[in-house]
Amino acid sequence: MLVRQVALKGLCRAARHSGFRKRNWHKHCHSAIRDGATRDLDALVRRNAPPSWESRWAKKAIFDTPFSNHETPLPHQFPDADSRRILIVDDEEAIRNLFAIALSERYECVTAADTPEALRLLAAQQFALVISDVQMPGLSGVELLRKIVSDFPDTAVIMVSGIDRSQRVIDALRSGAFDYLLKPCDLDVLQLRVEQALERRTLLQNGKRYKEELEIHNAELSAQKAKLTSLQAQLMQSEKMASLGQLAGGVAHELNNPAGFIYSNMESLDRYAAGLTRLLTVYDRTLLSPELTSQANAIKKEIKYEELLPELSSIIADCQEGARRIRDIVMNLRTFSRLDEADVTQVDIHASIDCNTTTRITSRSGANMRPCR
């Protein structure tokens, strides 16, 4: 049997030709194929067409080679082959070829006789659409549909069956089929359903791509937002530090004069106390009258004279240390108050580390701990 590939345009003109019986010649084709009357589309067309069309059929659309199940058209016939490639699955060879002939002008058609062959073809190349019969030997078309939905989600599916059962239609549509057609199919309706299925597939793919792009843009915007938030926090921190630096500068200025006054006076006080201690020691060794001696001893006992002189030196030393710490803190505050300066200046890194270390140790430690130098 030689079934030949014909152009859809010729078939449509043939279908509308006044010489065809009842106009719906494709239904007679389905009936004849289903009843086993014939499987030769050439003979079927010749029986229904007038003599004028038979010559047009031979000249217009017949190729020299038979239609093959895996025949691939030339690349220039389908510039976007992946989006125009259709797989037709049916155990009836004549029906497969009839659908392929009807769709071959606009689409690249590949046929398969059963579900395993269709799965092999789907694994080997990408198809935009699968037209599958429901009832087939072995694995049914519904099982093929479920396999396509799970493993090839970008492929649309149209189911075709000669049995009109509403539950079967519902099950197929729920399983992921785009449409469900009953045999015999009107070829014009088939072409329309194929076009709609491919348009829907394109819309779904575009929506998926736009969603992915939107997610990428959202991720980029989230990253930019996080970056801006971080920069804003840094800016606010810089402003806070600048304000704190100004406050520290003011405090340092206010503390500088009294701290310097106390520190310088403590040195004088230490010197004076040492002189007075020597003088009192000399007086203590001088012979006094018994009355004055007893009175002096009573006063010494009252004021704890023996402990007073050493303790006085210790108190003066502690005051000097406190004044020195105040002076160091003032110097640290003055250094800190220059944090907001934009001009480049020379800074002693050792002094900066020392002042920061001193400040942290002083703040974290007790008042009696002295920082190491």
Say if 3 falls within a structural domain.
no
Residue with tokens 């203590």: 284
pLDDT band at 355 (very low <50, low <70, confident <90, very high): low
Query: What does the mean pLDDT of the chain come to?
Result: 72
- Tell me what the mean pLDDT of segment 125-147 comes to: 89
Q: How far apart are CA 267 and CA 309, in angstroms?
A: 17
Say if 258 falls within a structural domain.
yes
- Tell me what the mean pLDDT of segment 169-194 comes to: 85
Structural domain including 348 reads: 236-364
Whether residues 35 and 166 fall in one domain: yes
pLDDT band at 214 (very low <50, low <70, confident <90, very high): very high
Whether residues 291 and 163 fall in one domain: no
Say if 309 falls within a structural domain.
yes
Contact in structure between 139 and 114 (CB atoms under 8 Å): yes
Whether residues 177 and 251 fall in one domain: no
The pLDDT, as a whole number, for residue 83 is 73
Q: Could you tell me the two tokens for 107?
A: 């689409």
Given a cut of 90, whether residue 293 has pLDDT beyond it is no
Say if 281 falls within a structural domain.
yes
pLDDT band at 117 (very low <50, low <70, confident <90, very high): very high
Domain boundary among 149, 169, 185: 185
Amino acid at 322: G
The pLDDT, as a whole number, for residue 104 is 85
Say if 198 falls within a structural domain.
no
Given a cut of 90, whether residue 373 has pLDDT beyond it is no
Closest CA to 245 of 331, 332, 340: 340
Domain boundary among 168, 185, 202: 185
Whether residues 136 and 278 fall in one domain: no
Q: Which residues of 64-95 are buried (b: 16+ CB within 10 A; e: fewer)?
A: eeebeeebebeeeebeebebbbbbbbbbbbbb
Domain boundary among 122, 151, 185: 185
Whether residues 259 and 133 fall in one domain: no
Whether residues 260 and 169 fall in one domain: no
The pLDDT, as a whole number, for residue 92 is 87
The HSE-up count of residue 265 (CA atoms within 13 Å, CB side) is: 9
Q: What is the pLDDT of residues 220-263, one digit of tens each?
A: 999 999 999 999 888 888 877 777 777 777 777 777 777 777 77
Say if 190 falls within a structural domain.
no
Say if 243 falls within a structural domain.
yes
Q: How far apart are CA 55 and CA 318, in angstroms?
A: 126
The pLDDT, as a whole number, for residue 66 is 38
Q: How far apart are CA 16 and CA 204, in angstroms?
A: 35
Q: How far apart are CA 201 and CA 223, in angstroms?
A: 33
Whether residues 143 and 47 fall in one domain: yes
Given a cut of 80, whether residue 151 has pLDDT beyond it is yes
Q: How many domains does the chain have?
A: 2
Given a cut of 90, whether residue 215 has pLDDT beyond it is yes
Whether residues 48 and 120 fall in one domain: yes
First to last CA, the chain: 107
Whether residues 241 and 352 fall in one domain: yes
- Tell me what the mean pLDDT of segment 51-71 comes to: 41
Q: Could you tell me the two tokens for 358?
A: 């001193």
Whether residues 257 and 117 fall in one domain: no
pLDDT band at 119 (very low <50, low <70, confident <90, very high): very high
The pTM assigned to this predicted structure is 0.46
pLDDT band at 43 (very low <50, low <70, confident <90, very high): low
- Could you tell me the CATH number of the domain that includes residue 75? 3.40.50.2300
Say if 196 falls within a structural domain.
no
Whether residues 142 and 40 fall in one domain: yes
Whether residues 169 and 309 fall in one domain: no
Alpha-carbon dihedral angle through residues 193, 198, 199, 202, given to the nearest 10 degrees: 160
